[in-house]
Each structure stands twice: as C-alpha cells, then as structure tokens.
Structure 1
C-alpha cells in the first residue's frame, strides 16, 4: 500500500468562514469548492476538506457531527514566535499563548470561526532545553 496524500475532513457550520480563514491566514489554496464543500491544500501540509454539517453525502450517523475536540496541529521548523506575531497582528485571537512543555514541545493555538483548534508546534532538542 502506498498513500498519495493525507486529508482531514472536518464538518463545520459555515464552510465559507473556515475556507476564508484557511486561505487568508494559513496559505491554503482552494482545489475544489461547491455549496457546502471545500477542498483545500498546500504543498507542505495535510489537505483539508470542509463539509457543512448535515450534508447528504455523509452517512446519516455522521451528518450532524461537528469537528469538536480535534486539534489540527502543524509542526514548524523554526519561526514559531514570528508566526504567533503574524497571526496576532492579523487580528487572530491566540487562544493558547506560546508556551514550552517540559518534554521540549513549544506551541500555541488559534481557533477558526467554526471553533476548529489549530495548533502550531516546534520541537526543541534536548541540548536546547
């Protein structure tokens, strides 16, 4: 088996709001879009599909679920502080300020208009701690 891509599919109330957030602030591009659906990508991250809650293409037991409790995490190779500043300067609420965990994870979180939690992570090496 060989995978050709990785995609996370998220059910939200307002596809257009999340689509605008991802394209404006996270540099995603729209690959396809229709009423209640958007497929977003960028070359260095997981693809994101946004589906409106209640969409008929999903099995009945999945239609009314909301992407809740999920954290979409992006690992950066440097520049974590700059990204936090860029997003803060753009008016994005930093819902978890930059912090460092004892195991070497440095991170902060933002939340999109549909409540999707997006986390930015940078790992320090043992000698940097």
Structure 2
C-alpha cells in the first residue's frame, strides 16, 4: 500500500466560516468548494475536508454530529511563540496560551468558528530526562 495523501474530514455547522478561518489564518488554499462542502490543502500538512452537518454523503448515524472531541494538531519546527503572536495580533483568540508540559511538549491552542480545536506543538528536550 502506498498512501499518497492524508485528509481529515470535519463535519461543521458553517463550512464557509471554517473555510475562511483556515485559509486566512493557517494558509490553506481551496481545492474545491460547493454548498456545504470545501476541500482545503497545504503542501506541508494534512488536507482538510469540511462538510456541513446533515450532508447526505455522511452515514445516517453521523449526519447530525459535528466535529467535537477532536484536536487538529500541527507540529512546528521552531517558531511556536512567533506563531502564537502572529495569530493573536490577527485577532484570533488563543484558547489555550502557550505552555510547556513536563514531557517536552510546548503548545498552544486556538478554536475555529465552529468549535474545532487547533493545536500547535513544538517538541523540546525536557529538563528531567
């Protein structure tokens, strides 16, 4: 098996709001879009498909659910603090301020207009190892 791409599909109430957020603040571009659907891409990250709740392409038991309990995480190679500042300066609410965990994970989180949690991570050498 050879995987040529990875995509995460998120069911949201307002596809246009998430599409605008991800293209404006995270540098995604639109591959395709229609009413209740958007396919977004970046060359250096997982592709994202946004589907409106109730869309018939979803299995019946999932049509009325939306993306919850999910964290869309992006690992950065440096510059985490700069990215937090850039997003804050752009008016994006930082829903979890920059912090460092004892196991060496530095992270912060933002939340898109549909409640999708987006986390930015940078790995550092923990002091206790």
Deviation at 1:62, TM superposition (A): 1.2
Q: How much is the aligned-residue C-alpha RMSD, in angstroms? A: 1.3
Contact 2:102 2:126 in 1 (8 A): no
Which blocks of at least 5 consecutive residues in structure 2 are unaligned? Answer: none
Q: Which residue is equivalent to 1:103?
A: 103
Q: Which residue is equivalent to 2:73?
A: 73
TM-score of the superposition, structure 1-length normalised?
A: 0.97
Contact 2:80 2:122 in 1 (8 A): yes
TM-score of the superposition, structure 2-length normalised?
A: 0.97
Deviation at 1:68, TM superposition (A): 0.3
Q: Which residue is equivalent to 1:49?
A: 49
| 2:69 maps to 1:60 | no
The number of aligned residues is 129
Which blocks of at least 5 consecutive residues in structure 1 are unaligned? Answer: none
Could you list the structure 1 runs, at least 4 aligned residues long, displaced by more than 2 angstroms after superposition.
none
